Structure 1
Amino acid sequence: MPTEFAWTDANARRLARNGLTAPARDVSPADVAADMLGAHAQVMAAGEVSLAMRIAGATRTDVQDALWDAHSLVKTHGPRGTVHLLATRDLPMWTGALSGIPRRAGAPAKGKDGRPLLTPEQETEVVAGIGKALAEDELTVDELTEALGGIVGSWAVDPVMDAFQTLWPRWRAATHIAAHAGTLCFGHNRGRKVTYTNPHRWLPGFRPLPAAEAHTALATRYLRAYGPAEPAHFAKWLGAPGGWATELFASLEAAGTLERVTLEGADAWRVTGDGDGGEQEWAPPAPRVRLLPYFDAFGIASHPRALLFPGRAYERALAGGQAGNYPLLLLDGIVGGVWHQRRSGRRIQVTVEPLEPLDAARHAALEEEVARLGRILDGRPELTVGTVAVGPHA
């Protein structure tokens, strides 16, 4: 008979493995990024907070140092094609896995000239050209466009791609594809301008793992961090076709790598034997209060959503069922509200909107959490418990 998991037990394990039960000691930002499978960094400050909050005494400066000085972190396109901070040492797994996911069928996107933005052959040329252009340097978009015109040809830089009421050069349709192939990542900002570089500068000689090996590694690591879970949950987190994820889980189950269990009575999968033998001894009760920033991985990767976002939280803290668009207030490990911060100089106004009244113990824990946020951001926080008027992040 399948092993049965209660939601409270599974969630306690996820919180512990995500560094949310208590901030970890003697770990680096790269260690934390590896354990949680990346920190979403479309909002860069939120990605920095996601990592720092999981490390005792860490600040956003520690994360920035790991990214830009030690290069133990890399800023690149990760799951769902979105910008993430990933452990640099994990690039072989990530690039092998992401470049090996089958693409959803459909007509190719077309440019203003009516032609496909990139044919498969052109895409291959552009990805290789990007790697060559960035091999020894950090280039802005304009500089990379000029370089690709010379390396690949003028067709690659034709301004035909619709974007934000302007037209981008054709090659930009392959930005996340180049990142997944391991030829592009973000470099240092140059003022307000983004730069790109080649991640081989920071992890010389790496190669993407073979797709099958990378998919096995990524699925098992996902289930250790966020399982038990269903193939559909893995697919949604990764931005992959559901049928492909179902086939992957089935093949790993047949090989004995994964086993079927139940989570609150529904079929789910875990790494074989993971959690047997006294699991609860190291998964203590959930923390009274945690503040998760925009797009924190815990809120996005954890399922079922209806259990993590119970009752009113499902409507208030999700945007049309989409997680991440609101910073989350966790109460005893589940979503119990939203919050927002506004900074002016060193002053950080933190407004927290709980969905139920806070007792004295929770209010004290919230004050401690807000004070910790201030230390992470090197600011002076001021807490207001009230309505968050700001809408969801796009």
Structure 2
Amino acid sequence: MNERPRGDGEPAEGTPEYHWLYGGGADPSGPKPDETRVMPAMSRPTDQPAGAPGGRPAAPQGRAGSPPTPPPVAPAPGKERTPRRRGPRFYFRIVLVLLLLWVAYLVAVPLISWGKVDKVNFEPKGDRPADQPGTTYLMVGSDSRAGLTKAQRKEYATGNAAGKRTDTIMLLHTGSGPNLLMSIPRDSLVNVPGHGTTKINAAYAYGGPKLLVKTIEQSTGIRIDQYAEVGLGGVVSMVDAVGGIEICPTFKMVDPLAGLNIKKGCQEANGRVALAYARSRHTDPRYGDITRAKHQREVVSAVGSEVMSPWTFVNPFRYWDVMMAVPDTFKFGEGMSPFGAARWALAMTRVNGDQGLTCGVPISDLAVHWDAERSKQMFDYIKEDKTDDIPKGLCTPTGLPRSVTG
């Protein structure tokens, strides 16, 4: 058999044939014309410097020959970037924080002041009236000059009287009906335990608050639940702290002994004038001390109205002055709390007009003897907390019947 001549590149006889897909045999010395040429793998060029962290390529800098990226353009004058506006929540939070701080101030200041207030042991020992509905406060104005300087005594025309007496005695009753503020004239003739029949203010001089409370409870049958005492200098301090009060004398009042010279009609009064107005007893030739008790009720209720007015609580300076004047102005009975004192102050604002009643203890003459029948009726209304049933003829400014006063 004739052999086919081998062409160039073919394997020699006896040599395994090389297959381009399955391998085997000798690798031919060059690509065949119909074979696919494979390009060698090449690494991609990168601009990241060698050893860059993470091996991440750097940001492209643009192709060679392309213009550089222009820098950011600054805003033209008058066209500055508008700052981001605050949303409603931001301002709500600000208001909330301010409100919480204000509430903390309103609470903290009275507590600081209350820590400086003197407490008085006023409850007597022995038999006392049983608990009664409502709350009855005994309010005493002391004429003690303690704490007043020589210059203040001269300015306030208080003199240099020694000892400690009561110029003002009032009962404030609060309960289911209208608030009642009732004056007890200091010259009222009553039985003072251990001292016989004498003027009621002698009880305070003999035995202080305890004997005065015992005298009033035995004479009226009304249980005294709490006690508040104000000194001469305290009236001035508190009136000035609220920026003055309005007084409405019904006649011109000139009293050198009290340092008073005012005209008839409603007018603003500072602390000194208010004190003189409450102390004067020589300007009314007819009623004397009875008229003074009326003026004292007027000053007390006016001070209470000013202290509890909204302006006191929105003006931080006035609020501070009022609260800090309390320790220099008042003494309270043991057991009184700051909130109890606030209720008492609020009650004093509700004793005029339709909100309450102001009157003198019913008397029969200017000596001063209590009217046995009428005074008992008044005391029973208070004990039973029925102030809304008190007849108009029973509650009069002087304590005398309306047929006498007109």
TM-score band w.r.t. shorter chain: under 0.3
Question: Which of the pair is proportionally richer in strand?
Answer: 1
Question: Which of the pair is proportionally richer in helix?
Answer: 1
